[in-house]
Amino acid sequence: MNPAENLDDLSPQQLRELAATLRAQIQEQDAVIARHAQELRCRQTKIDQLTHELAIHKRWKFGKRSEQLTSAQASLLEEALDADLEAIEAELEALMPPSKSEPRDKPKRQALPPQLPRTEIRHEPESETCTCGCALKRIGEDVSEKLDYTPGVFTVERHIRGKWVCGQCETLTQAPVPPHVIDKGIPTAGLLAHTLVSKFGDHLPLYRQERIYARAGLAIPQSTLGAWVGICGVRLQPLVDALQAEVLTQSVLHADETPVQMLSPGDGKTHRAYLWAYAPSQLSSLRAVIYQFAPSRSGEHARAFLQDWQGKLVCDDFSGYKASFGGGIVEIGCMAHARRKYFELHDKHKSELAGQALRFIAGLYEIEREVRDAEPELRLEARQQRARPILDALHLWLEEQRRRVPDGSAIARAIDYSLKRWVALVRYVEDPAVPIDNNHIEGQIRPIALGRSNWLFAGSLRAGQRAAAVMSLIQSAKLNGHDPYAYLKDVLTRLPTQKTADIAELLPHRWTASVLPE
């Protein structure tokens, strides 16, 4: 009904209908306005938080330094602060409206050394004919240089963009500037990928990379490398978020955590933080792992990651997971943890009872090795027919031995652990998608544990979270059989033009080397 109609001509019923329509339209507009106002408040709150965080990081970087840090620790702190500052400023730029964003006063970039080998990459218009039909005439070119790196050798990419003009209508035509992860920066995607893999895959701190690059002919300052790492961390985060979303679609997940020292830059002291890891089962078709860095071992971090996820969680007996059980999450015990307690007794004290328990468990693992690559139906059948009788016999044996051994003894504690978690330990025989232990996720944490001797600690909470995000992509690429350098180089090349709706195409389990540009 048209509200502009003469209201005197409308019947009471029509007037009521018109009033109802207008009320509905007003409510709809009010809802839109309220939603936009909420979005603006959230955006402003985020801007205020980032501005405050930026001020704190600048005070840490440019204020008085703590003399408690060694030179190596100070270098690690410097690279974390450089990366954090660049990441915060990149996030602020993305949030601020273009009219309000102030250009940053960046120092003028020095020319790349002339002795480095150069490769010319020309960008010309697709057609030498103007839109008016006349032939274009080349009148000059713009040249920009990008620094590339292959192990041990620096090269320079010279991007040459010819300028063409129409002699008739004087229209200027030029190929667009190729998009890069770092606009107007010198690094190619290859150099960025090498820096990220070296830092988060090979665990080489940036101050060591600076020395390695110097031997190759160009000493890139640690502060510059840190800025690159910070920006790449921001740019890659949507891809990590997409990977996490896919991991949470799985019905079975592994979970584990390992301690990591985190520096409090304000006082120069470290405290224990934790790197949490989550991954689908090896029996799943999805090969991925997600690392989450958190300032503590509190179970709230596991709950924050899992959110509304419902499924079967394979984990150890850590109390932090307990609050997640129930409400759709089922606990799956780790047989390897139970076995480890008997192994230590048998290895150190030659305990015969522990040896007998190990023989029971060895029979269970022998069955798992045989059916690891079998179809789910065959795996379930083998577990039901062969593993269940062993588990029943083991349970009876454990109860009998527990009545015989004294309370408080080492063997009693080992048996108590198995009996206490028995229901969770034997659930795997009911579901062919459930593994017998949590060894898969422990294998994904092992590289991080080995790398701690190189990077000593996380320089800040942001630095730990950034490391966890990039390591998630690197380790997931390895799980899918990819070279992490080749994977990240291609992702960083395509990321600036990749549509948000298509970001999942770049995930490690979907990426293939055939998509690399020639």
Instruction: Tell me the pLDDT tens digit for each residue of 203-214.
Output: 888 888 999 999
Position 516 scores a pLDDT of 42
Higher pLDDT, 160 or 60: 160
CA 10-16-18 angle, 5° bins: 70
Residue 328 has pLDDT above 90, yes or no: no
Q: Minimal CA–CA distance to 461: which of 296, 251, 312?
A: 296
Position 514 scores a pLDDT of 47
Say if CB 267 and CB 289 are below 8 A apart. Answer: no
Position 518 scores a pLDDT of 40
| b/e 371-408 (16+ beta carbons within 10 angstroms → b) | beeeeeeebbebbeebbeebbeebbeebeeebeebeee
Residue 517 has pLDDT above 50, yes or no: no
Return all residues near 354 (Cβ < 8 A) that are at least 6 apart: 342, 343, 345, 346, 411, 414
Residue 256 has pLDDT above 80, yes or no: yes
Residue 434 has pLDDT above 90, yes or no: yes
Position 57 scores a pLDDT of 62
Return all residues near 343 (Cβ < 8 A) that are at least 6 apart: 354, 358
Average pLDDT over residues 497-512: 92
**Is residue 67 very low, low, confident or very high in pLDDT (cuts 50, 70, 90)?**
very low
Check residue 53 and report its DSSP letter.
Answer: H
Return all residues near 367 (Cβ < 8 A) that are at least 6 apart: 382, 383, 386, 387, 390
